[in-house]
Amino acid sequence: MLPLSYNIKSIAIRWKSALLAIIGISLVVAVFLCLLAMASGFQLALRATGSTLNALVLQEGSQSELSSSFPKDAGDRVAVDRRIARGVDSKPLVSPELVTIVALPRRADGELSNVTVRGVTPAAFNVRNGLRIIEGRNLKPGLYEVVVGRGVQARIRGLEVGQRIKMMKREFDVVGVMDADGSAFDSEIWGDFDAMGSAFNLAGTENSLTLRLADRSSMPGFDKELRENPQVQLQMKSERQYYEDQAGALTGFLRALAIFVSVVMGTGAVFGAMNTMNAIVAARSREVGTLRALGFSRAIILSAFVLEGLTLALAGGVIGCILSLLVNGLQATTTANMGEIAFAFRVTPLNLGYGLTFAATMGVIGSLLPAFRAAWLPIAVALREA
Amino acid sequence: MRFLPFILRHLRRNWARTSTTAAAIALCIFLFCTLQTFVASLTGFLMQGTTRLVTRHNVSRAFRMPNSYEAQIAAVPGVKRVAAANWFGGMRDLSKPADVFTNFAIEADSFLAIYPEFILTDEEKQAFLNDQRGCIIGRALAEKFNWKVGDAVELVSSVSDYRTSAPLDFVISGIYHTDQVRYPGTNDALLFFHYKYFDEATGRKAGVATYRVEIADPGQVGAISQAIDTLFENSDAQTHTETEAQYRASLGVLGGNLVLLLNGIALTVMFTILFVTANTMSMAVRERRTEIAVLKTLGFPSRFVMCLILSEGAILGAFGAVTGLLLGRFLLDALPNVPLIGDLIQSFPRMSLPRAIAIGGIAIGVLLGLTAGLIPAVLAYRARITELVRPT
C-alpha cells in the first residue's frame, strides 16, 4: 500500500486543476443539500406539530381539517369514551376544534396571505405539549379574543398585542403571542371555540377533535368503530401521521427535484473530475511505471488513484456541506392545509451524510477510468513516456 | 474561418477530454433549459388573463357567496362576462388520496368563453353544453386514467359541505387541448363539469366559491374590483375581488419562492460548467506550450493566438449546448414515463421548450466556453516565446 501522503502531495502539485474540480463538486453538493434542507425543514415543522401521543378525529374521507366537518354532538359522544386519557384535573384530554382560513395582509407588501384560524377550548393547551404564551395572556373562554402564533405575528400586519383584527363581522382583540416551538401552530391564530363558532356561522359543528389515548394500541379498533357508526361516519388517525401526510406532496416534490437536479449536475461534475484525474495520470505515467517496476501491484496503483479522486471529491463534499450550512435556518413559507405555514431550512446531520456520500460516489466514478488506464499501462511504455 | 480545421484538430487531440467536457456542458445546459422552461411556464401561468378578475368571499376562499351575486356583478359597467366556478375536491375513492386530481364545477358557457386556453372542438363543446351530466377533461388526465370520450366517471367530494349521499356521476363529453405557446402553463390535468348539476346535487345550498369575471379594459382592473366589492359591502357575505394573477399567487405552493429557488439552481449550474470547462481549457493550453511558441516564432501575432484559444472554447461550448438541447428535446418527451420523476412532472402543466430559452441556452454555452478560455488565452497572449519553450 502506498502511503496516503503520496496522494496528497501529488494533488498538491496540480493544485489549480484540482481546485477547479473540487469547486465543481462542492457546488453540486451544495445545491443538493439546499434542496434537501428545504424538504427536511418543512417535514420537521409539520412533524413537530403532530404528537405521536395524540389522535385526530376527522370526518371520514376528509384529507384535511378544513374539509372535515361534523355536528358537535357527534364529537361530544366520542369525547366521553373511556379509552381517552385523563388530565391532572381528571377531565378527559379532548380538544374539539374549528378550523378555517382567513386572508390577511402580509407585513412585507400588503398582499393577502391565507392564515389558518383555529377555535379552541382551554383543553387544547392541555392536549398539546410545548405551547407557551410568551407575551400578553392566554384566551379567556367566551370572549372575542385571539392569541397569535409567533410566526404569523412576524409575517402579518396588525397582530400586535392590544390591536384588534376583524374577521367576518366581528372584531377580535389580540391578547397574547404563542410560541409553539417551530411547529405549524406558530403560523396560526387561535380564538375561543364558541366565539369563533358564532362569528363564522359555524356554531353546532366542529372540524376536528384532537384527543390523547390512554393506550395507543386502541387506535385501530377505535377508528373502525368510528367509521362504522351509522349516524355520523368519522375516522381517527395519529396526529403525527396526519401532519406527515400534509407534508407529503411538497417534501416529495422537493426530494424528487433534489435527485433530478443533482444527478444531472453530478454527472457533469464527474466528467470534470475525470478530466483532472486523467491529467494527473498522464503527467505521472513514468512515475507509475517506476512504481510498477519496483513491484507495486496493479491493484495498489488502481487504489492509489481512486483514493486520490476520493480525497479530491471529499474535499469538495466538505466545502459543499459548509456552503449549505449558510442556508440553515433560512425562513420560507408554503401552503399546507390551505393556510400558509412558515418553516426554516434544516440541514440535518443525515443530510450532510447524504451529501458526503454523494461526493464520494462522484469521486470514485470520476477516478475509476483514469485509474484503470494508469494501472494497466505496460511498464515499458509507461517508462518511455515523457 | 481558414483556421477552423486547425482549431477542430486541437479539439480532437485529446478526444476523451473534449468529449467529457462537451458532455458536462450538454448536461448542464439541458438542466438549465429544463429549469428555465419550468420557470417560464410557472410565471406564464401566473401572468395569464390580464382582463380576468376573481371575486371570492372576503374572509377567504373557504367561505362561499350566494348565487344571486352573479346577476349583480354582471350589471357592473365594464364587466363582459361572469362565470361561477367551485373547486369540487372530488375523488374517485376517498380512501385513496394518492389518486387525487383537480376538478371544478363551472358555468360552462360563460366559463369557456372567459378561458379560451381550454380548447375544444365545436362538436365536443356542443356535446358538453347539451349534456347536464357531461364533463370535459385534459389530455394528461385522459392518459393517466386511460379515459376516453363517452366513459363514465363517478366522484365524491372530500369537502364536507359538498358531500352527497351518492357519488356524482358524469359522462366524458370531450377532451380539451392546450396551446402552450399562446397560453404557457395551462393545466391539462383538470376535469370540469356543470355547476348546475353540482348545485342541484348538493340541494342548492353550496353557494359559489369564486366568480370569474371578464372585463373589457385591463386598465380598469382597480375601478371594477372596487365597484364589485362596494355592491356587497353591507350584505352578509362581503366579497373580495382581485386579479387572477393575485388569486393564483395566493394559492400557489411556494409561488415566488419556487421561482427564486429554481433561478438560484440555474445560476449554480452555470458556475459548475464554467469550472469544468475552464479546467479543460487550461489543461489543453498547458499541453501546447511549445506549439504556441512555434506559432509566435513563425510570426503569428499574439492576438491571433489568443483568438485561436478563445474560439476553441466557444466551439466547445456551442457543441455542448447543442447536444444539451437535443438531449432536452428527447428527455422532455421521454421523462413523463420515468417512474419517480414522471409522477413529479405530471402534477405540473405540460412543458415544451420555448425558442427563446433554446437560443439562450446556446448563447450561454458559447459565452461560458469563451469565459473558460479567457485565462489561458490571456496567459498565452502575454507569455514570451522563451518562457514557452523552456521545459517545465
Closest CA to B19 of A23, A373, A363, A271: A271
Q: DSSP 3-state assignment of A142?
A: coil
Stretch B146-153: mean pLDDT: 93
Distance of alpha carbon B312 from alpha carbon A87, whole angstroms: 77
Q: What pLDDT, in 10s, does the model give residues A258-283? A: 888 888 888 888 888 888 888 888 87
Specify whether the CB–CB gap between A212 and A205 falls below 8 A.
no
End-to-end CA distance of chain A: 25
The confidence score (pLDDT) of residue B10 equals: 80
Specify whether the CB–CB gap between B32 and B266 falls below 8 A.
yes
Mean pLDDT of chain A: 87
Closest CA to A197 of A132, A148, A141, A156: A141
Q: What pLDDT, in 10s, does the model give residues A309-319? A: 899 899 999 99
Whether B279 and A276 lie within 8 Å, measured CB to CB: yes
Specify whether the CB–CB gap between B102 and B189 falls below 8 A.
yes
Closest CA to A246 of A56, A32, A31: A56
pLDDT > 60? residue B255: no
Residue A312, Cβ neighbours under 10 Å: how many?
27
Stretch B61-83: mean pLDDT: 92
B218 backbone φψ class: left, alpha, beta (φ>0; ψ -120 to 50): alpha
Q: Which of B21, B59, B269 sits opposite A275 (nearest CB)?
A: B21
Q: DSSP 3-state assignment of A103?
A: strand
Residue A174 pairs in a beta bridge with: A146
The confidence score (pLDDT) of residue B235 equals: 87
A45 CA to chain B: closest CA distance, Å?
15
Q: Which of A70, A269, A333 sits opposite B276 (nearest CB)?
A: A269
Instruction: Count residue pairs from A and B with Cβ separation < 8 A.
Output: 162
The confidence score (pLDDT) of residue B392 equals: 58
Residue B26: closest C-alpha in chain A: A268
Q: Which of A249, A268, A278 sits opposite B276 (nearest CB)?
A: A268
Sorted by sequence, the CB contacts under 8 Å of residue A227 that are 6+ apart come out as A60, A233, A234, A235
Stretch B322-327: mean pLDDT: 88
Strands A70-71 and A132-136: unpaired
The confidence score (pLDDT) of residue B350 equals: 52
Q: Which of the residues A11, A26, A27 would you substitute to probe the B interface, choosing the one with the greatest number of B C-beta atoms within 10 Å?
A: A27
Q: Which of B160, B242, B347 sits opposite A68 (nearest CB)?
A: B160
Distance of alpha carbon B93 from alpha carbon A184, whole angstroms: 28
The confidence score (pLDDT) of residue A41 equals: 87
Sorted by sequence, the CB contacts under 8 Å of residue B326 that are 6+ apart come out as none
Q: Which of A113, A265, A338 sits opposite B62 (nearest CB)?
A: A338
The confidence score (pLDDT) of residue A3 equals: 74
Give the DSSP per-residue string, B137-159.
EEHHHHHHHT--TT-EEEEEESS
Tell me if the pTM is above 0.90.
no
Specify whether the CB–CB gap between B25 and B368 falls below 8 A.
yes
B185 backbone φψ class: left, alpha, beta (φ>0; ψ -120 to 50): left
Q: Where are the alpha helices (DSSP H) in A284-348?
A: 285-293, 298-325
Distance of alpha carbon A312 from alpha carbon A315, whole angstroms: 5
Q: Where are the alpha helices (DSSP H) in chain B?
A: 4-13, 15-47, 69-74, 108-114, 122-130, 139-145, 195-201, 221-231, 244-251, 256-287, 289-297, 302-334, 339-346, 355-382, 385-389
Q: pLDDT > 70: what percent of chain B? A: 92
The confidence score (pLDDT) of residue B337 equals: 61
Q: What pLDDT, in 10s, does the model give residues B326-383? A: 887 777 666 666 655 555 555 454 556 778 888 888 999 999 999 988 988 888 888 8
* For chain A, domain boundaries: 4-47+246-384, 54-212
Quickly state the pLDDT bin for B391 (edges 50, 70, 90): low
Most confidently modeled range among A4-18, A28-42, A323-337: A28-42
DSSP state of A217: G
DSSP state of B250: H
Whether A275 and B280 lie within 8 Å, measured CB to CB: yes
Query: Which chain A residues are within 8 Å of B62, Cβ to Cβ?
Result: 66, 100-101, 338
Quickly state the pLDDT bin for A138 (edges 50, 70, 90): very high
The confidence score (pLDDT) of residue B348 equals: 52
Stretch A237-251: mean pLDDT: 83
Distance of alpha carbon A323 from alpha carbon A29, whole angstroms: 9
Whether A200 and B59 lie within 8 Å, measured CB to CB: yes
Quickly state the pLDDT bin for B138 (edges 50, 70, 90): very high
Cell of B7: 482549431
Quickly state the pLDDT bin for B199 (edges 50, 70, 90): very high
Distance of alpha carbon A124 from alpha carbon B312, whole angstroms: 69
pLDDT > 90? residue B213: yes
Strands B210-215 and A205-206: unpaired
Quickly state the pLDDT bin for A336 (edges 50, 70, 90): low
Specify whether the CB–CB gap between B75 and B68 falls below 8 A.
no
Tell me: ipTM over 0.95.
no
Distance of alpha carbon A64 from alpha carbon A53, whole angstroms: 19
A169 CA to chain B: closest CA distance, Å?
8
pLDDT > 70? residue B277: yes
A87 CA to chain B: closest CA distance, Å?
31
Distance of alpha carbon B238 from alpha carbon A169, whole angstroms: 9
Specify whether the CB–CB gap between B70 and B211 falls below 8 A.
yes
Query: Which chain B residues are within 8 Å of A271, Cβ to Cβ?
Result: 20-21, 23-24, 27, 276
**Phi–psi pair at B298, nearest 5 degrees:** -70, -10
Give the DSSP per-residue string, B85-123.
EEE--EES-TT-GGG--EEEEE-HHHHHHH-TTSB--HH
Distance of alpha carbon B255 from alpha carbon B377, whole angstroms: 43
Q: Which of the residues A260, A335, A337 would you substitute to probe the B interface, choosing the one with the greatest number of B C-beta atoms within 10 Å?
A: A260
Distance of alpha carbon A57 from alpha carbon A207, whole angstroms: 9
Closest CA to B26 of B334, B330, B367, B326: B326
Q: What pLDDT, in 10s, does the model give residues A168-194? A: 888 999 999 999 888 889 989 999 999
Distance of alpha carbon B152 from alpha carbon B111, whole angstroms: 23
Quickly state the pLDDT bin for A69 (edges 50, 70, 90): confident
Strands A170-179 and A205-206: unpaired
